[in-house]
Every structure is written in C-alpha cells, then in structure tokens.
Amino acid sequence: MYRVLRRFGTTEVAQALRPMFLVWNVLAILICASLCFGGQQVAAYAQQIAAADTSTPATSPTKTNATQAVVTTTPNPSTVSTATKATSTQPLQTCVPVETVEPTPIDLSTAPDGLKQQIDAPTFYQIFGITPSALRSQIRQCAPKTGSEATFTAETNYQLNWQYRYTEEANGQCRVVYAAVGIHIIQALPQWQPTAKAQDGLPNRWTSFMDALKTHENGHSALNVQYAQKLFNDIKRFPPTPCAQIAQSLQYLADSDVAALAQANDNYDSSTDHGATQGAVLPQ
C-alpha cells in the first residue's frame, strides 16, 4: 500500500479508489441491517453470558473463597477438615536445655535460735511431644544438669548453712549458747502440655508418672529438712568443750551430719531405684 500511494497523485488516488468506496457502502448497509434486526438476539445472548458468569463462583469456588471458608467463625465440615490438615503440617516444638538452679544460702544474720527453712515452688523445664519416645528424648536433651553430670528427669537441690556462738565458762570450758541452721530447697521437674494429637492414653500415664515423681522428690526434700533439724539439735546440744578445741569439734560434727544427709539421699535413691519402685517410670 505504501508504494501504491507514492505512484498515484491525490486526484488519481480518489478516482482509483472510487469503486472500492461503493463496495464498502454496500457492506455497511448490510451490516447495519443485520444489527438492527438481530439486536434482540444479541442482547439475549449477552444476558445468557452474564447469567452464566454470575453463577460460576457458587458452583466452582476459587482459592480465595476456600481460604475465607477456613477463617470463618461458623464451623462447618469443610472448615474443620481444612484447619486440621493445616495444623498437622506444623513442625513439633523442640525443648530448650536448661541449667541446674542452685539454691542460695539462707540469711542467718538476724535469725533466732532454730531452723530456718525455705522450700521454693518447683521450677519446670518444658518438653514437647506426642509419643512416649519423643518425651524421653526431649528429657534427655533438656533436663537440667551441671557440667557433664548425669541427667535425671527431676532433681532436688539443697543448700545447708549454719552459724553458732559459744561462751567461755569459768572452768575454761566453752558452751554453745546460740545456733541457727538454714536449709534452702529447690526442685526441678519436667512439664508437658498434652495436645489433641498425643498418643491415646499418654496424658493419663503422664499424670500418674508425675504424681509418683513428685512423691519421690518430696521424699528427698523431707530428708533434707530432717537432717537440717538434726544438725541444729546436735550443735545446740553440743557438750561443753575446751575452748581451744570447740570450733574444730563443731566443724567435725557439722561435716559428719552433712555427709550423713548425702548418704541418706543416696540410700533413698537406691532403695527406690530413683523413684521407679514408687511408680516414677517414664511412659513406654
């Protein structure tokens, strides 16, 4: 077309294209007639298309509609199913290892004669899992321990301290006139929050295990208090002793009572197999 326009002048182009204009006019008349007589059919067809387009979302939900169904506040079978499926893909939480919490000495600076005890509420380390093997694994990983010491499911730690005063008698003997003993106890226990996915029966078995475990650890606490009371009684009732020897003699007495407490705790663990005979056995 570009070359044709360059060969013909303006008048020549109009004359040459006159027959083509006649053809176009005839086509335009025919098209107009077709639209005028068939307009109602075209409009009806357009309405059918519009109606079909409007009904599409109701019969074929889009991804957006499906997502909205999941977050609706009115539960329905599809919502529950979708939400459950989404939850099942969430990764299981892992525990965080913790260090042993050491109790601090009791302040005896203004304490009167007697035993002063402080038993803190248990500290807990969190574990997660839905099977017994998962719980055992997380306990091994995250139960409190100090350095390279063996890891136990639970522990009871104590701090024992004491002080005393004595006075010199006329005969050169010294006699204890004041004694105070402090015992500070802290327990560390596992804590597990069951979920709907937990193995059947596991929550009940865990509850029984924890009851037995607390019974065992409370046995340690009772021994600690018992021997702290014994230490106070032994110091307070210590017989008059030559002043040059009383301090050394009292230290020997205290060391003996502390060693006896450690042995009592060991014997308690041995006799109960660290709580197993009391029912403190991890679910299998």
Q: Is residue 249 located within the same domain as residue 126?
A: yes
User: What average pLDDT does this structure show over 5-10?
Assistant: 31
Residue 94's pLDDT band (cuts 50, 70, 90): confident
Domain count, the chain: 2
User: What average pLDDT does this structure show over 188-193?
Assistant: 95
- Expressed in angstroms, the distance from the first to the final Cα of the chain is 91
Q: Is residue 74 located within the same domain as residue 164?
A: no
In a domain, 157, yes or no: yes
Q: Is residue 142 located within the same domain as residue 245?
A: yes
> What pLDDT shows up at residue 188?
97
In a domain, 94, yes or no: no
In sequence order, the β-bridge partners of residue 174 are 168, 241
Q: In sequence order, which ranges of the chain are alpha helices (DSSP H)? A: 2-7, 10-59, 63-71, 77-88, 132-142, 202-236, 243-272
- Residue 134 reports pLDDT greater than 70: yes
- Residue 110 reports pLDDT greater than 60: yes
In a domain, 192, yes or no: yes
User: What average pLDDT does this structure show over 64-74?
Assistant: 26
Residue ending a domain, choose from 18, 53, 88: 88
**Full DSSP string of 82-138:** HHHHHHHTSPPP-----B--PPPPP--TT--SEEEEEEPPPEEEEE--SSHHHHHHH
> What pLDDT shows up at residue 93?
82
Lookup result for tokens 């106890």: 185
Q: Is residue 153 located within the same domain as residue 218?
A: yes
Mean of all residue pLDDT scores within the chain:
76
User: What average pLDDT does this structure show over 112-138?
Assistant: 96
Domain limits for position 64: 2-88
In a domain, 61, yes or no: yes
User: What average pLDDT does this structure show over 184-213?
Assistant: 96
- Residue 4 reports pLDDT greater than 80: no
Q: Is residue 122 located within the same domain as residue 46?
A: no
Q: Say if CB 102 and CB 157 are below 8 A apart.
A: yes
> What pLDDT shows up at residue 164?
97
Q: Is residue 118 located within the same domain as residue 83?
A: no
Residue 99's pLDDT band (cuts 50, 70, 90): confident
Q: Is residue 143 located within the same domain as residue 238?
A: yes
**C-alpha to C-alpha distance for 59 and 65, rounded to whole angstroms:** 11
Q: Say if CB 48 and CB 55 are below 8 A apart.
A: no
Residue 41's pLDDT band (cuts 50, 70, 90): very low
Q: Is residue 201 located within the same domain as residue 151?
A: yes
Q: Is residue 161 located within the same domain as residue 38?
A: no
